[in-house]
């Protein structure tokens, strides 16, 4: 993570300062107030979050199945009108 002292009007400089894998901490009075991340890093983070959500969903579905809480495929298709 990189730190940069700047005034509020220095947004263009911040964008130029930001690399493809960078996280920049914005501080006020030596207290971190926000983080700015590159679009590429944001995309990677969001993909990771989605993957983790899929893992949680699968584990919940498996737990339901193990407890006998499931719908047969034929019934599911019928409910969907297929």
Residue range 34-57: mean pLDDT, rounded? 94
Check pLDDT > 80 for residue 60. yes
Looking at residue 78, its pLDDT comes to 93
Looking at residue 24, its pLDDT comes to 83
Looking at residue 43, its pLDDT comes to 94
Nearest-CA neighbor of 19 among 37, 42, 3, 5? 37
The C-alpha atoms of residue 68 and residue 3 are separated, in whole angstroms, by 53
Nearest-CA neighbor of 22 among 49, 47, 5, 42? 42
The C-alpha atoms of residue 59 and residue 79 are separated, in whole angstroms, by 24
Say if pTM beats, i.e. exceeds, 0.75.
Answer: no
Check pLDDT > 60 for residue 66. yes
Check pLDDT > 80 for residue 19. no
Residue range 67-71: mean pLDDT, rounded? 88
Nearest-CA neighbor of 23 among 10, 40, 35? 35
Q: Which tokens go with 7?
A: 């005034």
């Amino acid at each position: 993570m990189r730190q940069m002292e700047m005034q509020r009007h220095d947004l263009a400089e911040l964008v130029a300062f930001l690399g493809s894998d960078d996280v920049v901490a914005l501080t006020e009075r030596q207290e971190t107030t926000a983080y700015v991340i590159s679009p590429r890093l944001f995309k990677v983070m969001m993909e990771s979050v989605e993957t983790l959500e899929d893992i949680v969903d699968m584990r919940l579905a498996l737990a339901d199945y193990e407890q006998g809480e499931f719908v047969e495929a034929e019934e599911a298709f019928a409910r969907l009108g297929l």
